[in-house]
């Protein structure tokens, strides 16, 4: 908690105070040192809260890297979009909430389908394609300009982003947990969930720096571009790092 709190505080305040300010440098140094001590303790204790041996499993290791990049981008992009349509385009809070409806609808409609396909063909292709599709969705949103037309400037990108999320989520979870023994599934799920939350917290903390301090049209375009870049990184990590497990074809 101390490591994360100090680091995130510094990331938030550096946009206002600058990197060289002691009020930024000291919390950042303290936070990073605390995180390093946490990892060191987990490596040496006999009963670690986060067993580092889990990361010896290739798909678990690379799956969490994909999680960090993709969920960091997801938190950054969706948060920026919600704020932008209110501050930059004048939407009400209700309207800003309603524009995200394609995301849960796509998850409900397609997650099981792509999860089944990943079980048949392996997770790599879906963990690669999903983030790339999501990134393409945010690239489409670079077309925003005043006055904002939701149907032509945002909806196509939102639909593409929602499809990409449905493509990625179930295969990612299956790949991360499938890399571990059944006895480690619980702690593996907890670690993966923590990675996604921490990644989102860090990227949102950097929003002010990424957007240039304002989520107007220019600031949103900068943030959408950064979001697409993070999704591209997630797709490349999946392509290079994830492996399809060999099937056991022996008779039962």
pLDDT at 31 over 70: yes
Can you give the pTM of this predicted structure?
Answer: 0.89
The mean pLDDT value for 159-166 works out to 95
What average pLDDT does range 42-50 have in this prediction? 82
SS3 track for the chain: CHHHHHHHHHHHHHHHHCCCCHHHHHHHHHHHHHHHHHHHHHHHCCCCCCCHHHHHCHHHHHHHHHHHHHHHHHHHHHHHHHHHHHHCCCCCHHHHHHCCCHHHHHHHHHHHHHHHHHHHHCCHHHHHHHHHHHHHHHHHHHHCCCCCCHHHHHHHHHHHHHHHHHHHHHHHHHHHHHCCCHHHHHHHHHHHHHHHHHHHHHHHHCHHHHHCCCCCHHHHHHHHHHHHHHHHHHHHHHHHHCCCCCCCCCCC
Q: Regarding predicted confidence, which is higher, 75 or 41?
A: 75
């Amino acid at each position: 908690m101390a490591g994360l709190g100090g680091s995130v505080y510094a990331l938030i305040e550096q946009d206002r105070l600058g990197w060289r300010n002691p009020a930024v440098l000291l919390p950042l140094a303290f936070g990073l040192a605390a995180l390093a001590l946490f990892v060191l303790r987990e490596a040496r204790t006999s009963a670690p809260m986060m067993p580092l041996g889990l990361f010896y499993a290739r798909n678990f290791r690379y799956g969490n890297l994909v999680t960090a990049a993709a969920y960091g981008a997801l938190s950054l992009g969706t948060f920026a979009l919600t704020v932008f349509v209110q501050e930059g385009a004048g939407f009400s809070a209700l309207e800003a909430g309603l524009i995200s409806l394609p995301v849960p609808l796509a998850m409900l409609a397609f997650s099981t389908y792509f999860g089944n396909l990943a079980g048949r063909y392996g997770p790599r292709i879906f963990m690669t394609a999903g983030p790339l599709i999501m990134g393409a969705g945010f690239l489409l949103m670079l077309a925003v300009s005043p006055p904002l037309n939701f149907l032509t400037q945002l909806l196509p990108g939102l639909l593409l982003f929602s499809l990409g999320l449905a493509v990625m989520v179930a295969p990612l979870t299956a790949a991360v947990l499938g890399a571990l023994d059944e006895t480690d599934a619980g702690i593996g799920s907890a670690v993966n969930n923590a990675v996604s939350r921490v990644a989102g917290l860090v990227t949102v903390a950097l929003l002010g720096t990424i957007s240039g301090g304002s989520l107007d049209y220019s600031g949103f375009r900068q943030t959408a571009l950064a979001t697409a870049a993070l999704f591209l990184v997630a797709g490349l990590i999946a392509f290079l790092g994830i492996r399809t497990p060999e099937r056991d074809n022996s008779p039962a």
